[in-house]
Amino acid sequence: MSAGLNINANMMTWAVDRAGFDLQEFIGKYPKLEHWLNGTKQPTLKQLEEFSKKVYLPFGYLLLPEPPKEALPMPFFRTNRKATQKVSINVYDTVLMIQQRQEWLSDYLQENDFEPVPFVGRFTADADVQLVVDDIRQTLGLARNWASYCSNWQNALDRLTQRIEGAGVNVSFNGVVGNSTNRAISVDECRGFVLVDKYAPFMFVNNADSKAAQLFTIAHEVAHVWLGESAGFDMMRLQPADDPTESFCNAVAAELLVPTDLFNEVWDGDHGFARYARFFKVSELVIARRALDTGKISRQRFFAFYKEYILREFTKKKEQDSGGNFYATTKKRIGLLFATHVNQAVKSGSLFYRDAYRLTGLKGDTFQTFFTQHL
């Protein structure tokens, strides 16, 4: 029989709380824990490894005398509130995963004499919004009415993503932690985040959101890159947090997707927002918000529409997301630009396979199939 390990009970209760579980409910499903907490039994090494997986915690953490200090590498903004460091474990683990990718890629690019991405931090939040938007359009090669030529929202999102990655910014779309489909990332908590780096800026977009809403998120994140400011956000009702940078990035995103002068040209009254949404390839909510910002509708009208829109989207979402091709999904989760760098690093011998597996979440035959047949 394996000898038990003497683990601090506070570490175990902290681990359960950190994972977002209620302690008593967790014990009900995993009764061994109660014996460990009251000292009548001690966990074996195998049991502790099993427990660590259930609470999404690296095994070694449980051997520490007290919980480590954990902090996000950037502020996380909540609508109508200031920044916080409190996020769910699924969001936290996703941020750490992207941060690990960024740290490796930034070092790799510098070691191989790549130039820094020139537009990272090019402006500050006191710049003229139109000046920033014009610079983004010029850098990405986008016409003022670029989205109107796209056939649908997905096509517009794909085109914008390709231009962004082509300019040197890594983009990841995912609605779960890595490839763990049982660890969903709530859209209400996190629509996306940006980790800025001069050589390897990364943008994360919650793929569980509607395609049109993702388009606004990615435009908001582009603004963060141009400011050189890392951040995460929920952007409820397309409202920014109580922060000047967030307000500025929202303004840039709105102008990039729905230019004021073009909006004024096509607007012919408040007869519904669907027609304008199809033209600009954004959600009806973005159009409603743009109409509010430009004085075309009242706040009462906007919030009434918001309630109706959310109910409609909730009903629609239940009918969507039936799965999809694993490798196509993987390409979006990893990001084409990042995957290309990993592939080149492995081929050149500067990245071991074990490290490539860790960075991509792929292993063995699945890794080989993805990089040889789907990249």
Q: Using one digit for the tens of pLDDT, what is the confidence trace for 215-237?
A: 999 999 999 999 999 999 887 76
Look at the chain and count its residues: 375
Residue 1: predicted pLDDT: 45
Residue 90: predicted pLDDT: 93
| Strands 170-174 vs 202-206: parallel, antiparallel or unpaired | parallel
Q: Where are the domains of the chain?
A: 9-63, 76-258, 326-374
The Cβ of residue 68 has, within 10 Å, a number of other Cβ atoms equal to 9
Residue 269: which residues within 8 A CB-CB, separation 6 or more?
Answer: none
In the structure, what pLDDT confidence band is assigned to residue 308 with cuts at 50, 70 and 90? Answer: confident
The highest-confidence range among 70-84, 133-147, 316-330, by mean pLDDT, is 133-147
Residue scoring higher pLDDT (313 or 367): 367
pLDDT tens-digit readout, 38-54: 889 999 999 999 999 99
Res 319 pLDDT > 60: no
Res 317 pLDDT > 70: no
pLDDT tens-digit readout, 60-88: 888 888 888 888 889 888 877 767 778 88
Task: Write down the pTM of the prediction.
Answer: 0.87
SS3 content of the chain, % helix, strand, coil (to 5): 55, 10, 35
Q: Which two tokens stand for residue 40?
A: 């009548």
